[in-house]
Structure 1
Amino acid sequence: MLSYALLTVLAVAGASLASVVRTPPPPGEKHASNRVIPDDELFSTQVSLQYRRHHTCGASILNSEWVMTGAQCVGSFSMSDLSILAGSDRLDIGGSVHQLKRVIMHPDFSFLTARNDIAVLQVSPPLSIDETRRVIKLPGRGQLIATNSTATFVGWGQSMVGDKMKKISVSVMDQEQCVKVYSEFFYRVSDSQVCINIPEGRKDKCYGDAGHPLFVDDVVVGLASWSDGCPVSGTPSVFTRVSSYRSWIKEQTGV
């Protein structure tokens, strides 16, 4: 059964990342290189997208007016029921609440296939960009990810109120291998998606982390989208590949 953004967030050993991205980067663009990013830098780029003040998805700060998340996170809700909590890595302490002024889902998003699972949200009032609300770095269009890079996934998921944001290290599957695995379940993985694998992972809890980012260095390369149930060894989780939507993001937000 296809489940949206069910990712193992606890008890996962660090792993290396090897991504196969076939589209070459524009001239002058560089591959990502390994760099350890402090937790506060990663966590401060994230906001909690909330339905009637309850956490439902993650979102990343693009600038003072716009955040980015998964289309699945907003496609079933009235905009008036949604808000974001920014400026805190906890769900019960600190931060500021902002309403949504505009919701733009990718026009080709499909709940059935989960393709084009991306949306941008305009917030009101604007965010104060500071040490607790940082802007993410986006990849270039078609930017490559160097093999054996280290990737980090962050998010709250279905944390109990008061839990802090978490992070894990993950590995990214070879694209052809991911396509093959899911073809056996009659699911289709497209070039605009990227898969992570937990080769020796065990699941203590499963969290719904739709919209939360996958970082390589300090660049957001993916948005959590879906998997076949709760991931275990050999079962990939699928992310929206952000570099495939770089032009679309700029058209909508100017970023």
Structure 2
Amino acid sequence: MLQFLLVACLISSVLGNDSQSSRIVGGRQAARGQFPFQGSLRSARNRHFCGAVVVGDRWLLTAAHCTIGNQPYELQVVVGSVDSSTGGTTYQLRQVIEHPDFNELTLENDIALLQTIHPIVMSSYIQPIALSNNVVPAGIIATTCGWGQTEFGSGLSKMLQYMEMRTLTNQECRLRHDIQNRQRIHSTSLCTSPRAGKGTCMGDSGSPLVANSLLIGLVSWGVPCAVGKPDVFTSVAPHRAWIKYTAGV
């Protein structure tokens, strides 16, 4: 729990009083196997605190702010279950690699690779997702999922939740945020516009944003919680070369 609280406090202090690490509110419950690439990033005590995404037989992606300051032996990932309290397969990590240009203060390049010690055994419930090579335009309907809070201040969701969101231009995204948070929307960011009462929430950081069966983003940050402000993701396409070079996927 200490690790989870540190992540929450880090993002709160970085983004000001009206921003925290991201979460899902107003979603629907996922069926088993619906999102076979979804993983749960956990502490050594098996406490979920961020999402992760299977992208290869030994590799997952997550948000760098979820892993910064942690050693591989302090973390583990669980894949293959929509119920965070039971089922799935646990994998220990060989290494954690944050993007070399990740900025803890601005959350620019908020992306990290996780390598498992043993190969991930694929099944109908565990599958990698292909990565987008193209920057996503505005107006695309995308889906995000995670085990984050279902309302601000609540506990984490036991069951995996998902919801649809529409992408925005970064220019429009900046205009919808206050002056302080506009500085944290980068060329490598990807924004979505959920309706008020719907959005990501605490515990969803590092979880996927998917469109046309491709991973297009990772949950990075948002204004708590589902108050109509755009959610901000790390766009996958600008980091594609780094992922390929580092992990070969």
User: TM-score, normalization: structure 1?
Assistant: 0.80
Contact residue 55 and residue 158 of structure 1 kept, 8 A: no
**Based on CA coordinates, which of the two structures has the bigger radius of gyration?**
1
Match of 1:110 among 103, 118, 121: 103
Return the alpha-carbon distance in structure 2 between the equivalents of residues 92 and 195 of structure 1. 31
* Pairwise CA distance, 1:161: 7.4
* Consecutive unaligned residues in structure 2, runs of 5 or more: 1-11
Query: Which position in structure 2 is the counterpart of 1:75?
Result: 68
**With CA pairs under 8 Å and 6+ residues apart, which has the higher RCO, 1 or 2?**
1
Are residues 95 and 161 of structure 1, via their aligned partners in 2, closer, same or farther at CA, if it must alter by over 3 Å? farther
How far 1:112 moved relative to its partner?
Answer: 0.5
The match for 1:150 among 141, 145, 153 is: 141
Does the Cα contact within 8 Å between 1:7 and 1:237 map onto a contact in 2? no
Change in Cα spacing, 1:249 to 1:54, as seen in structure 2 (3 Å) is same
Measured in 2, the distance between the counterparts of 1:204 and 1:245 equals 24
- Which has the larger share of helix? 2
> Kindly tell me: are residues 232 and 183 of structure 1, through their superposed partners in 2, closer, same or farther at Cα, counting changes over 3 Å?
closer
Gap change, CA 1:214 and 1:127, over 3 Å in 2: same
Scaled by the length of structure 2, what TM-score is found?
Answer: 0.82
Amino acid at match of 2:40: S
Which of 222, 226, 241 is 1:247 aligned to? 241
Q: Distance in 1 between matches of 2:57 and 2:200?
A: 34
Q: In the alignment, what sits opposite 1:197?
A: 193
Pairwise CA distance, 1:118: 0.4
Tell me how far apart the structure 1 counterparts of residues 37 and 77 of structure 2 sit (CA, whole Å): 13
Letter of the 1:209 partner, please give it.
D
C-alpha displacement of 1:231: 3.4
Counterpart of 1:225, as a letter, is S
Q: Percent identity?
A: 31
CA distance in 2, matches of 1:178, 1:162: 27
Residue 244 of structure 1 aligns to a residue in which SS?
helix
Tell me what 1:54 maps to.
47
1:6 touches 1:207 (CA, 8 Å); kept in 2?
yes
Shift of 1:44: 1.1
- Over the aligned positions, Cα root-mean-square deviation in angstroms equals 2.4
Distance 1:158 1:123 in 2: 27
Q: Kindly tell me: are residues 75 and 173 of structure 1, through their superposed partners in 2, closer, same or farther at Cα, counting changes over 3 Å?
A: same
Report if aligned partners of 2:189, 2:233 keep a CA contact under 8 Å in 1: yes
Once the two structures are TM-superposed, the CA of residue 125 in structure 1 deviates from its matched residue by 1.8
Q: Is the 2:216–2:237 contact (alpha carbons within 8 Å) kept by the matching residues of 1?
A: yes
Aligned pair count?
A: 226
Q: Which amino acid aligns with 1:230?
A: C
Task: Name the residue aligned to 2:25.
Answer: 9
